[in-house]
Structure 1
Amino acid sequence: MTAKGLGDDDLPGLFEAADSASLDGQHRYVRAVRLRLLLAVAAAATGAVPFVLGRVDVAAIGTAIALAAVSVTELNLKSARPEDRWYDGRALAESAKSLAWKFSVGGLPFDKAGGEPETERRFIQQMHKLLEDAPATSIRPSRRPVVTEGMRTLRAAPFAERKAAYLEARVADQQRWYTAKAARNERLAGWWRAGLLSIEVIGICAALGKAIGAVRFDLAGVVAAVIAAGTAWISLRQLSTLARAYTFAANELAIVRSRLELVEDEPSWASEVADAEEAVSREHTMWRASRTRPSS
């Protein structure tokens, strides 16, 4: 039976814990930012439409409530800092995944030249060092072992099977992921640019309409708030930047794959796998560096 590659279930427990923490942090952060932007638009909308009930300006109260909710959301982001769990958890998960692949297919520093027990001990030490060097981001414990059966099975396979598994399940799979993400981000960036341009045209028309008395409330102010919120959302998602980075990474992995396909011996393979993992890690390092981290 031909050895298969590593799925997420075959990766070490540290990957599982860090990946879970990162996804949770990402979801919390994106939801909070989305809520904050929607509340800001709501504050502008309630302020634009006068609504007085008796002597009470209900619209003004609505604006105050929306702005208070914006402040509460911002304070929660500052205190909980879910973006830290997102960025730090992803860095830890990707580092653990890279080490697991190196170990499983015989890449440096876990080449097949040494004894297996000693190599496994060295891998465990590397994983422990990863955990020690990781930022103090809360991750849940995992019951999965450091060295899984899937990793041992792949490492014990013949060279040709390990090579095929790595080329398909790691390099080609990562290349497909980058290609799909690049296309999706570029498409979404185009939609957002077109949408914001349309809203800007509406804002211009609304401002001119108010100038001639055709519009009785401050629609232009609401449109301006929507544009500001949309711009902030695009800045958060970094669609065009990521599209370019993913395109570069996909092209780089195509070159890496061609080099790996030419390897026919274990020593050269161990070195090329280490270089391939460096290429994968480089893209993630660029992604992490591109995120704007608020100061403590």
Structure 2
Amino acid sequence: MEAHKIKYPALFTSSDNYSIKAQDNFKNLNKWTLVALVVATVLTSLTQENWAIWTSTALILVSAILSTLMLVLKFEKGWYEGRAVAESIKTLCWKFMTGARPFSIDLNETKAQNLLIENFKKVIGHRKDFFTLIGSDFAENEQLPVELMNIRKLSKDERISIYKTERLEKQKKWYTDKTTENKKWTKISFAVIILAQVLAVISLILKIKFEFEFSIAPILVTISTAFIAWLQLRRYQELSQSYLITATELSLIKSKINQVDTESDFSEFVDDSETAISREHTLWLARRDNIELFK
């Protein structure tokens, strides 16, 4: 079968890019805030010389500035709103390409395209503040790529094949990879937390027994606290479970694809699949106190 390129509208590209940048900025601000606090604690624990005190003071000031930037710039909001928009646009495009409701394959080309545009407008209407943030670059690019209509014009079997490989399999792989990645970082984070705490206890015991003047316990406790904060921020455990559940659900849904005989069956199949995908990022948004999402 001839390979068909999947191209999404500029709305998706702009939202996705902005979300990725906002996520990186949010993670970096938090990371360097924690690093600054840990280094400041290390310096004041190792020596009370003036240079260490002044350096620690500067690092704490840097941490305060970074925390203020997080509050003012609201990168987290741009991150999750961008993802919400991008996922909504992607879902609409796949429903359009496959002929799933509300973009029934029986609709003529003009009506189907107009309906898609109307749904894009609804997405924008729900996220006016976000589109103010990303600027007008999306407005200058193509919102109805010809690739969308080309796939829509294919036979049912071809559309089923494309949806299976380009949407379900790729999405399932994304969730599976993310599950593995988050599990890995959960184990690493807990290993560092537990090791730091155990070493801190040993350090305190040795200090009491041998009456050492110096103790690295404050340093280890700070490192442990920083990793706990990072673990809570990144929510590795929570995300790995969420991604695993969605990947499993998609796998189960995908197993029913051979049962699709009619256009109506296919429409229902796509609707179930997209609902499973949408449910994951809807819950993801809800966990960040932003439950309004275009459906």
- TM-score by length of structure 1 reads 0.91
The match for 1:185 is 182
Report the equivalent of 2:4. Answer: 4
Q: Which amino acid aligns with 1:139?
A: I
Q: 1:273 to 1:104 in 2, by over 3 A?
A: same
8 Å contact from structure 2 (residues 192, 224) kept in 1: no
Match of 2:36 in 1: 39
CA contact (8 A) 1:3 1:157 kept: no
**Using the alignment, how far apart are the partners of 1:216 and 1:261 within structure 2?**
72
CA-based RMSD of the aligned residues comes to 1.7
Distance 1:215 1:73, change over 3 A: farther
| CA deviation after TM superposition for structure 1 residue 209, in Å | 2.8
Give the match's secondary structure for 2:255.
helix
4+ residue runs over 6 A deviation: none
Superposed, 1:65-144 pairs within 5 Å as: 65-137=58-130, 138-140=133-135, 141-142=137-138, 143-144=140-141
Pairing partner for 1:210 from 207, 212, 216: 207
Map of 1:26 onto structure 2:
23
Q: How many residues align?
A: 286
Query: Please, which runs of 5 or more residues in structure 2 have no aligned partner?
Result: 291-295
Q: How much has 1:291 moved relative to structure 2?
A: 3.3
Structure 1 counterpart of 2:293: none
Shift in Å, 1:49: 2.0
Q: What secondary structure is seen at the aligned counterpart in 1 of 2:55?
A: helix
Offset of 1:215 from its aligned partner? 4.1
Alpha-carbon distance change, 239 to 135 in structure 1, aligned in 2, over 3 angstroms: farther
Shift of 1:254: 1.3
8 Å Cα contact 2:12-2:85 kept in structure 1: yes
Matches within 5 A, 1:214-225: 215-225=212-222
Extract unaligned runs of 5+ from structure 1.
none
SS, match of residue 136 in structure 1: helix
Instruction: Report the counterpart of residue 232 of structure 2 in structure 1.
Output: 235
For structure 1, which segment, 63-72 or 77-86, has the greater mean C-alpha deviation from structure 2 after superposition? 63-72
1:261 maps to 2:266: no
AA partner of residue 195 (structure 2): S
Structure 2 residue corresponding to 1:152, chosen from 136, 149, 164: 149
Moved more, 57-66 or 15-24: 57-66
Cα distance between partner residues in 1 of 2:91 and 2:141: 17
Distance in 2 between the 1:252 and 1:135 partners?
A: 32
| 2:249 aligned residue | 252
Q: CA deviation at 1:214?
A: 5.7
What letter is aligned with 1:173?
A: K
| 1:3–1:153 Cα contact (<8 Å) kept | no
Q: Is the 8 A contact 2:172 2:250 kept in 1?
A: yes
Query: Which letter maps to 2:4?
Result: K
- The answer to whether the Cα contact below 8 Å between 1:210 and 1:217 also exists between their aligned partners in 2 is yes
Deviation at 1:213, TM superposition (A): 4.7
Q: Distance in 1 between matches of 2:162 and 2:85?
A: 24
TM-score (norm 2): 0.92
Q: Deviations over 1:112-148 (max 9, x none)?
A: 1121111110101110111111151211422431111
Q: Counterpart of 2:56?
A: 63
Post-superposition CA distance 1:27-65 (Å, at most 9, x none): 00000000000011012112212243xxxx332222211
